[in-house]
Amino acid sequence: MTNLAPAYSPTIAPSDSPELDPFDDFPAPSWAPSWAPGHTPGTRPGIRSTLTLAGNGVLRRRKPKLAYAAVVIVGVMAIVVTQLLLSIGLSNGAYQIESLQSTQKDLGRSNESLSEKIDSLSSPQNLAASAESLGMVSNVNPVYLRLSDGAVLGTPKKAQASAGSLTGGQSSLTPNAAIAGAAAAGQPATPTAAAGAAAVTPSAPPAAAAAATVPWTGELPSPTTH
Amino acid sequence: MTSRRSTRNRIAVAIVVITAVVAVLVVKLVDIQVVQASSLNAQAYDKLSVGQTLYGARGDIVDSTGTVLATTVIRYDVTASPKDVADFTQTVNGAAVDVTPLQAAGQIGAITGQSATDVYALLTADPSSGYALIIKAIDLDKYNAIRALSIPWLQYQTNPQRVYPNGSVGGNLVGYLGADSSTNGGLEAKENQCLTGSDGSQTYEKGADGVAIPNTLVVDKAPVTGGTVMTTIDSDLQYYSQQVLAQQVTSTKAEWGSVVVEEVKTGKLLAVAQYPTPDPNNLDATDPHFWGATAFSDPFEPGSTFKAESAAALIDAGKATPATQVLVPYRYKAPGGSVITDSENHDPAQWTLTGVIQESSNVGISILSAMLTTQQRYDYMKKFHLGEKTEVNFPGESEGILGDPSQWGEQTLYNSSFGQGVTTTAAQIASIYQTLGNGGVRLPVSLVSGCKAADGSVSEQPSTQGEQVISSDAAQQTVNMMQSVVTGGYAASLLKIPGYNVAAKTGTAEVSNGQGAYGGGYLTSVAGLAPAEAPQYVVSVNLMKPVTIEDGSAAAPVFQKIMSQVLQKYRVLPSTTPAVNYPTSY
């Protein structure tokens, strides 16, 4: 290819402008002196001298090119490594997300399932039956304490077992198929257990007895007054 | 020169070969990148991408305090792929155990409650099939238990199901879901549009191990959770009403009963009980006739509770006062020949209008009502919104029958004054009493207080615009007259609530046999207000054809208990004024 060089060199001399930007794909042509600082038109050599200087020009160019190449390679490598690290991080994150999402899904499901049980167990049918199995009845004679003057409105009367019973022993009159499901599925069926305990010691509410053995932790409750 | 030529030849050949190879590659490249690009991309995406349905659950129905009456829960269907059914390895206590399909069937059956042979039969019914349903809609605990068996040929699908945590409490109102939306019942049908959610979908690309590739998740369509229907019902009061009513219906051997509790100042229905009431979780246990709300769907001739309306109309029109005197015979023959009798034989009595109400005299109210023209009477009934559906517009709601006044015969003219010859629903009766209690201002009856969308916005709020039906004085005087029923009527001892002034009216209506005649039982009822001096709540009780007691005394204890509960629950202070005591005779 060297034999072709002379034909081009008179018009375009990219080789003799070592300070041109090595990344410039279109170096300024030799007839554009303003692009080649250090080469004033007056000092411009002839064709021959250009050829002689070509070798020197190549030698002089080597050093800066190496530095640029090194920068480029190091830069590329840095980018590759960073990218690699990033994608490792991302995929790690993906697994973490996957595992957390599945945990979240499981927790969401058990939350839903437990709320469903709570909703069923707190249905009035279940509460009434549980309360009555503990021996509780409602008092049909309410008495009010008027706060403005402390007056007692109404005549206090003892609650009657017969009149105060909500279910009247006929809890099946307002059926709820959801309770059976909730009581059967998992959680210890509180009403049944309580009923059993109440049958053994009818005079002492089992809940109170159980509560007595639990020591109080935390702050003592204090009334909030406004 | 030879070497130069051979060099040139080699170069030429190399160039040609390289050009050819490059050309082939370019063609292939264009083919892949441009021509087939979209289909190849699609194939690749199909292999990588996973589509998921995001369920937009059907909304809840809640009571006035937020207690859930109907909700959607996730259940799981378990299916198997029979063609893949084979032995597999299970880890039991750290040791690998080989499990045969029959053993696996036994393990599944132990959880689902099926027998091992049943499950095995399902697995082997069609060994070439890729699908066999093992069990539908199991709950989370069972699903987790089956998943823990790690059976490789089982698959699971989620299956949203409707549950009613409070069972039959409000079961008549909440309704049920049918096979499709047209066969829904109750609020599930009425509020279907509010409740319905819409499913969304998302796709992501998965790696070889099934884990989502980061940044590939695309939500194609966000799911929309259905709205929450907020009702005015108080589920505790609803339960109490149902329980008390059910006990009385069964003990009096009535066909059915209904109770309506309405708030006087708002027109809100606090309880609409009936017996029998369906448990939407287990509909088939109840006669399909009672799957709806009888308080809206089953009109009846109201009987004497309607005398309150007649009396209010008379007073409002200025034709009578509570003290208006009337000589009441037991049997009255009207000018046109119609005959009216009172329920019990008595000597001609000198009663006031209050006395007529207290004694529930058909003759007395008929003679007095004749002071109004037919058209006036009809207009008052229309102003009380009789003969038209209430604003609730419950599915299957009846208008009741008022008839055309020009077609009313003389018998109907008189009969309608004491609640025969016209039919009303229990909700309409409650609304009449609400009007009387609220100074003559009728408020729209409301059961649904709104539809709360997932974003918190509330729509479908009912109107609260009242209408002045009768004057405030006429309304309060009518309520005061009804106090005499509780202080001295035949069911007084059953109606009294200690500490409160109560205004109520009993009713014992003959029930049409469906062939234009009466016979075969009575509808007994009580409707009333408390506290009478400033009414806050209406309770209306109706029992259809009780056997052991055939008059208002059958319904009175139910009224008394439910009204007591209402007053106690809503902390209504006991009356401080004595009951109004209009003279009943002269």
C-alpha A92/C-alpha B557 separation (Å) is 71
Phi, psi of B539 (to 5 degrees): -125, 130
- What is the CATH number assigned to the segment(s) B53-73+166-226? 3.90.1310.10
Give the sheet arrangement for strand B269-275, strand by strand.
Answer: B269-275, B256-263, B537-544, B518-530, B503-512
Question: What is the model's pLDDT at position B265?
Answer: 94
Phi, psi of B349 (to 5 degrees): -115, 145
Q: Cis ω on the peptide bond leading into residue B531 (within 30° of 0)?
A: yes
- CA–CA min distance A226, chain B (Å): 22
What does the block give as tokens for B84?
Answer: 């893949």
What does the block give as tokens for B409?
Answer: 């015969």
From A94, A119, A178, residue closest to B211, measured CB to CB: A94
**Tens-digit pLDDT profile for residues B319-331:** 999 999 999 999 9
From A110, A168, A178, residue closest to B140, measured CB to CB: A110
Higher-pLDDT residue of A57 and B40 is B40
DSSP string over B158-172: EEEEEE-TTTTTTHH
Phi, psi of B22 (to 5 degrees): -60, -40
Question: What is the model's pLDDT at position A193?
Answer: 39
What does the block give as tokens for B502?
Answer: 């109560």
Confidence class for position A185, pLDDT limits 50, 70, 90: very low
First to last CA, chain A: 100
State yes or no: pLDDT of A6 exceeds 50.
Answer: no
The answer to whether the Cβ–Cβ distance between A176 and B211 falls below 8 Å is no
Closest residue of chain A to B561, computed from CA coordinates: A140
CB B304 within 8 A of CB B506: yes
From B214, B239, B281, residue closest to A177, measured CB to CB: B281
Residue B544 to residues B88, B211, B276, Cα–Cα distance (Å)? 64, 65, 12
What does the block give as tokens for B297?
Answer: 């769907």
Which stretch of DSSP H or E encloses residue B379? helix B374-383
Q: Where are the domains of chain B?
A: 53-73+166-226, 82-152, 235-450+458-569
What is the residue-averaged pLDDT of chain B? 89
Which stretch of DSSP H or E encloses residue B459? strand B458-459
**Tens-digit pLDDT profile for residues B188-230:** 999 999 999 888 888 888 777 767 777 778 888 888 889 999 9
- CA–CA min distance A149, chain B (Å): 14
Higher-pLDDT residue of A47 and B495 is B495
The answer to whether the Cβ–Cβ distance between B568 and A142 falls below 8 Å is yes
Question: What is the model's pLDDT at position A56?
Answer: 54
**What value does the mean pLDDT take over residues B547-572?**
90
Confidence class for position B469, pLDDT limits 50, 70, 90: very high
Confidence class for position B470, pLDDT limits 50, 70, 90: very high
State yes or no: pLDDT of B267 exceeds 70.
Answer: yes
| Range picked from A33-37, B89-93, B424-428 for highest mean pLDDT | B424-428
| Range picked from B230-239, B341-350, B407-416 for highest mean pLDDT | B230-239
Which residue type, as a one-letter code, is found at position B202?
Q
Beta bridge partners of B221: B201
**What value does the mean pLDDT take over residues B14-30?**
94
Taking each helix axis from N to C end, the angle separating B307-316 and B362-369, rounded to the nearest 10 degrees, works out to 30
Question: What is the model's pLDDT at position A22?
Answer: 47
State yes or no: pLDDT of A16 exceeds 50.
Answer: no
State yes or no: pLDDT of B257 exceeds 80.
Answer: yes
* Chain A residues near residue B212 by CB distance under 8 angstroms: 94, 97-98
CB B120 within 8 A of CB B105: yes
Confidence class for position B307, pLDDT limits 50, 70, 90: very high
Q: Is B97 helix (H, G, I), strand (E, B) or coil?
A: strand
Q: Is B84 helix (H, G, I), strand (E, B) or coil?
A: helix
Higher-pLDDT residue of A178 and A169 is A178
Question: What is the model's pLDDT at position A33?
Answer: 46
What is the residue-averaged pLDDT of chain A? 67
**What value does the mean pLDDT take over residues B84-96?**
84
Q: Are strands A152-153 and A144-145 parallel, antiparallel or unpaired?
A: antiparallel
Cβ within 8 Å of residue A4, ≥6 positions away? none
> Topology of B235-450+458-569 in CATH?
Beta-lactamase (3.40.710)
Q: Where are the domains of chain A?
A: 62-135
Higher-pLDDT residue of B235 and B182 is B235
**What value does the mean pLDDT take over residues A10-35?**
47
- CA–CA min distance B586, chain A (Å): 35
Confidence class for position B404, pLDDT limits 50, 70, 90: confident
Task: Tell which residue, B347, B318, B310, has the closest CA to residue B585.
Answer: B347
Which stretch of DSSP H or E encloses residue B504? strand B503-512
Q: What percent of chain A has pLDDT over 70?
A: 51
B21 and chain A in contact, CB less than 8 A:
no
State yes or no: pLDDT of A1 exceeds 60.
Answer: no
Residue A60 to residues A35, B135, B341, B396, Cα–Cα distance (Å)? 19, 84, 134, 100
E strands in B38-153:
49-54, 61-62, 68-80, 88-92, 95-99, 132-138
What does the block give as tokens for B270?
Answer: 């606090």
Confidence class for position A220, pLDDT limits 50, 70, 90: low
**Tens-digit pLDDT profile for residues A116-128:** 889 889 899 888 8
> Tokens 């001739």 label which residue?
B301
* Chain A residues near residue B239 by CB distance under 8 angstroms: 124-125, 128, 174
State yes or no: pLDDT of A3 exceeds 80.
Answer: no
C-alpha A120/C-alpha A187 separation (Å) is 12
- Taking CA B346 as the corner, what is the angle to CA B344 and CA B351, rounded to the nearest 5 degrees? 105
**Tens-digit pLDDT profile for residues A73-117:** 999 999 999 999 998 998 888 888 888 988 998 899 899 889 988
State yes or no: pLDDT of B275 exceeds 70.
Answer: yes
* Chain B residues near residue A155 by CB distance under 8 angstroms: 498-499
Confidence class for position B179, pLDDT limits 50, 70, 90: confident
Question: What is the model's pLDDT at position A15?
Answer: 46
**What value does the mean pLDDT take over residues B502-507?**
94
State yes or no: pLDDT of B249 exceeds 80.
Answer: yes
**How many residues in total does chain A contain?**
226
Beta bridge partners of B441: B468
For chain A, which residues lie within 8 Å of any Cβ of chain B, measuring from their own Cβ?
90-91, 93-95, 97-98, 109-110, 112-113, 116, 119-120, 122-125, 128, 140-142, 144, 146, 153-155, 166-168, 170, 173-179, 181, 185-186
Task: Tell which residue, B399, B295, A137, B563, has the closest CA to residue B555.
Answer: B563
State yes or no: pLDDT of A32 exceeds 50.
Answer: no
**How many residues in total does chain B contain?**
586
